[in-house]
Amino acid sequence: MAKLEKTVSGNFDEILKRIEKGILEGSLTASLEDSSDFSDGDIRCSVRVFERYSAFGSNRVSLNVTLFLDSQGTIHLSAIAAGGSQAMVYKINTYGEETFLNKLKELV
């Protein structure tokens, strides 16, 4: 599993659109599997689950992205990639997860 947590600056909607577009255009096999959006006044939370095929590992990898806008206007990003290992007990190949997460790092 690969994880990224950081605070980002900018417009919440623009950041979310940039992430969606960048992930989907960053791989021929990328797809948006599902999404969820919540708000309570100025507080917002958006969750996106992406998936793509990892040729290196011959499997599918998921990327879960959460954007959270708190009451002070700070945008928090949490992203977790999973599913890239082929082993049964220990994770041997996490290259696909790291590559998927690196694409997100380029976007934010």
User: 51-94, pLDDT tens digit by residue?
Assistant: 998 776 667 889 999 999 999 999 999 999 988 666 655 555 56
Can you read off the two tokens belonging to residue 36? 């969820």
Give the dihedral sign, CA 17/18/23/24. Answer: positive
d(CA 40, CA 25): 31
Q: 34 pLDDT band (50/70/90 cuts)?
A: very high
Domains of the chain: 2-92+99-103 (3.40.1000.10)
Coil, strand or helix: which one is 56?
A: coil
Give the dihedral sign, CA 39/21/58/102. Answer: negative
Confidence (pTM): 0.85
CB 48 within 8 A of CB 19: yes
